[in-house]
């Protein structure tokens, strides 16, 4: 079982993934494959944000399956190192306790300015529930309850982290130092991978075009098919240059998977067509993902181990989270805490 995070500690990093969408190769290259190595420098908390998935009312059986698979993904990335905690959000109920306290220290205007709420409300116009409005506050609770120093975030999450910072500063201003004020994680970041069908836009898990992204769980056959269908240009020369967004994107992926420079890739494919190049990109992705996929399949086949590990992660996360929650509850005057 992961060791309980000590009070005198190294800097802490927190990141949660939602179970409703499998990460794509861009997520893997840019972040996921680097997470395990972060244990050498930081204490890390990784989790499956299953409570956040409830805002769109998923089918219960589907959510359970997806949550278990997302947890297996985190384990297959070898994240249970050192003092790291890997858990499922709903298994640590202190998150919900602190969420209510933070709701009372968040201004309505702050929450209403969240642009993602407006986007999600438009996308799910038939189900604009209160959870959709307040989930950034639950996200703040996830961060603050574990006293995270750093949070790896994408462009679309900057506003949510700023809200968490505002809540922490407001609470600390009223009651003294209770929460660590989190910063965006600015460590080593991989190259940003673009859509295979529209290489001017970033690759997205929510893209409705199945050919646009490569899931980290895609079969070798699916990866090859998607790479072959990737948008390129009519020049038929493999080189990194302005106006060649499709080729630039594939070169970025190939360089990230093999360690080759763009110059080396250009030399390797001089005089060769895009067919050979796309096949090589597919093979590089397949080989990059092979160890992870093998471990993921092994873990999924051992349900007893997954359940045991989830219990251990929940115990560690809840113990750690309750220290923060109990302190916050006492500060606001809740009797008996």
With a CB cutoff of 8 Å and minimum separation 6, the contacts of 104 are none
Q: Is the dihedral of CA 26, 30, 34, 35 positive or negative?
A: negative
Catalytic residue among 6, 65, 120, 211, which?
120
Structural contact between residues 171 and 178, judged by C-beta atoms closer than 8 angstroms:
yes
> Is 205 a catalytic site residue?
yes
- Which of 133, 166, 154 shows the shortest CA–CA distance to 26? 154
- CA dist 171 and 178 (Å) reads 8
Task: Evaluate whether 143 touches 161 at the Cβ level (below 8 Å).
Answer: yes
Phi, psi (deg, nearest 5) at residue 4: -65, 135
Catalytic residue, candidates 188, 194, 205, 303:
205
The residue whose two tokens read 């009651």 is 175
Backbone CA torsion sign across 262, 264, 269, 270: positive
In angstroms, rounded to a whole number, what is the distance separating the alpha carbons of residues 145 and 162?
A: 16
How far is residue 209's CA from residue 110's CA, in Å, rounded to a whole number? 34
120 catalytic residue (yes or no): yes
Q: Helix 274-300 crosses helix 245-258 at what angle (to 10 degrees)?
A: 50
What does the radius of gyration of the chain's CA atoms come to, in whole angstroms?
21
**How many other β-carbons are positioned within 10 Å of the β-carbon of residue 266?**
16
Give residue for tokens 């840019």. Answer: 30
Distances (CA, A) of 294 to 35, 80, 90, 110: 18, 17, 27, 44
Burial label for 315, CB within 10 Å (0-12, 13-18, 19+), is middle
Per annotation, catalytic residue among 6, 11, 194, 202 = 202
Q: Token digits for 266?
A: 């250009």
The catalytic site residues sit at 120, 202, 205
């Amino acid at each position: 079982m992961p060791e309980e995070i000590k009070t005198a500690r190294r800097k802490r990093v927190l990141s949660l993934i939602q179970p409703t969408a499998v990460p794509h190769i861009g997520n893997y290259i840019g972040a996921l494959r680097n997470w395990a190595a972060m244990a050498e420098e930081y204490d890390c908390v990784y989790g499956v944000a299953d409570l956040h998935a409830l805002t769109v009312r998923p089918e219960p059986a589907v959510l359970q399956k997806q949550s278990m698979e997302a947890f297996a993904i985190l384990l297959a990335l070898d994240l249970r190192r050192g003092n790291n905690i890997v858990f499922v959000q709903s298994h640590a109920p202190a998150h919900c306790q602190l969420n209510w306290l933070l709701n009372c220290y968040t201004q309505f205007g702050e929450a209403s300015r969240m642009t993602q709420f407006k986007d999600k409300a438009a996308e799910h116009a038939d189900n604009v529930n209160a959870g959709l409005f307040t989930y950034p506050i639950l996200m703040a609770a996830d961060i603050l309850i574990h006293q995270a120093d750093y949070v790896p975030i994408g462009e679309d999450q900057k506003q949510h982290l700023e809200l968490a910072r505002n809540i922490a500063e407001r609470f600390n201003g009223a009651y003294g130092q209770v929460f660590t004020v989190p910063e965006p994680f600015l460590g080593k970041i991989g190259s940003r991978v673009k859509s295979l069908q529209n290489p001017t836009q970033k690759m997205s898990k929510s893209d409705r075009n199945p050919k646009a992204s490569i899931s980290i769980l895609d079969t070798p056959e699916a990866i090859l098919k998607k790479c072959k269908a990737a948008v390129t240009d009519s020049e038929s020369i493999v080189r990194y240059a302005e106006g060649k967004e499709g080729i630039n994107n594939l070169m970025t992926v190939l360089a990230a998977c093999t360690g080759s420079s763009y110059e080396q890739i250009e030399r390797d494919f001089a005089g060769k067509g895009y067919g050979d190049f796309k096949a090589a990109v597919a093979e590089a992705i397949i080989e990059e993902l092979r160890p992870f996929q093998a471990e993921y399949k092994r873990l999924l086949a051992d349900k007893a181990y997954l359940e045991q590990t989830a219990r251990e992660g929940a115990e560690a996360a809840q113990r750690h989270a309750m220290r923060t929650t109990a302190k916050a509850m006492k500060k606001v005057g809740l009797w008996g805490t």
